[in-house]
Structure 1
Amino acid sequence: MNTLLVIDDAWSASRVLRAIDQGSHLLWQGDWHNGRQVIAAIKRRLRPGGSDFETYRRQRARQVQAVNAVLVPLDSTYSIGARRAPDVHQACLQAYGEPSTDRLVPLQELLGVIGAHQLRRRGVFIPALDARIHPYYGVFAPTRSEYVDLVADAPLPGRTAFDIGTGTGVLAAVIARRGLAVTATDISPSAVVCARDNLARLGLPVEVLRADLFPPGRADLIVCNPPWIPARPITTLDHAVYDEDGELLSRFLLGARKHLQPRGEIWLILSDLAEHLGLRSRADLPELIGRAGLEIAGGADVVPAQPRAQAARRGLSDPLADARAKEVTTLWRLVGT
């Protein structure tokens, strides 16, 4: 670690930023709520913008680096050493597991841990299930449920299904509710535990395995909602959205056919955001589908209604927001050639 400076309420956001730019990490020992305001001020001052996505990503990386330089002490009982700090024991237990030693953690990360705990407790209502899904820390939350509706409405082939990269288990739950025997996979241990918990809450007998893409055997239906932006992740949570060089998408499509039963279907749920950002052409996906020995049998589209897309339509000006204003998510129904 670089120079560690102890800071408190006397430090302004400008002074904090100057110290960060000089290579320092900062140990916050002031009031908890004042610390949150400093983080918010840094984020405002370093808000990503620019006229192109590469500039936006560079500025976003700088913002992440800056906010992560402000640390708070977290002791071996998950107590925070700051005035008026909340009780974060349960939130940290869910995110980090059993405590062991004192540590320093970024204040921004701890805010994310607290937010994830609140979301997990509250859950996300999924209309297609008429029930709530409870995301774990570090597992992508299905707050954009319109893609779930695509899976709920598409005509089903056969009796068995694989859900690849299941996350919270939301798509596995929808497919199981529709009567198929489902096996779900994820490479993330947290996602596997999260999906098992959600599916148990719903009383659905879905097998959830830790695997890099496919489980053993074949299925009549293989479903995947992969990360949709082929760029390098910056944060841990970015891995749910960013797939560097489209590596996961390529491996999924090129490997799916050998796990598919005759006359089965592959459902690829994918946003076209990468096209609007200039990271993938409209011809790239059909070309990859053809190289995988697959062809397009049909599909369905939906326009995302999440607040960020709505904000973009109201004129928010950065490349990602502009692209979200045009975004369409498609369920591609693929079959073997």
Structure 2
Amino acid sequence: MSNYFIGIMTGTSADSLDGCIVNFEKNVDLIETAQIELGSEYKDKYEECIRLGFKEVNESADLMEIEKTLNKKTIDLVEALIDKSRISRKSISLIALSGQTIFHTYDKSYQIGNSQQIADMTGINVCSNFRNFDIQQGGMGAPLIPTFHKYLYAENNKNKLIFNIGGISNGTYLKGDQIEIASDVGPGNCLIDMFIKKHFDLPFDFDGKIASDGALNEMLINKLLMDTKNMSYPRADDKNDYYKLIDENFLEMPPKDIIRTLTEFTAIKIKDFYDYCECPSEIIFHGGGTKNSFLMKAINKKLDSDVRTTDSEIDSKFVEATAFAYLAYLKRGEIYFSKS
């Protein structure tokens, strides 16, 4: 049996589909990568569906529409990866499909993305529904990436802390060759992106330039920290856990100050989890947030340790896609068999 796996990831930032082909016969061998933008219309409708609390596709015409878009672009991305790599379709064991999370709780997780349709259209079996599979095994359904963090970075007698900064930030603390704790830790990019879109009509704060021009609002940062002080570890966050923090205070501030303050909030929540862990000797970051140099500088100032990204092993943009491919390799999801 071949050990080629396709990983398809779309995170809570909902900006793109990230895909890869990976081989796990010896170590992680990242064969090919590709990316397809989901577009602003997709993201806007997705965010609105989240705020309205939809859980099932048939609850919303917009949700049905963006699932059709997601299915088509997923199929296009799979075909692009196969074309670029020139690997035979028959050599692909499974497509790992993360799905687009629209609602998440400790006992049930909801994603869009039609796994059976994608299996039938590509002719490749699909492994998906990873979050509910994890919940059924006694987990929280998120974060799921710690298993891959352990595979990639665990070493005897070394304590390492790995952060993923996506729409939500999560952290994995490796104590030697074991996962000591893994948890969602804070808002990541989701609040920053929300207000960047609202006030500047941009998808995100490019390199943190808008935040760097703003001033920190002490009253607002203190309120955000007070409102989240009882969020313990380990936990699985939903974007609405942070969206509900938004109130009239945000409407009275200069937009650049909002972005600056939310960037600080993201950095502080990462520092909080760092403080919770016992003296990590190495701190590693990946995810879209690593491209925000102002955010990364704010984090660096708070952490008393050397910080690096995963780029020397795997491009930080494709770590999550690779991680889901690894979960498919371990069969930690539901299998949908192609009928074609």
TM-score between both structures, scaled by the size of structure 1: 0.31
Pair member with larger Rg: 1
TM-score between both structures, scaled by the size of structure 2: 0.30
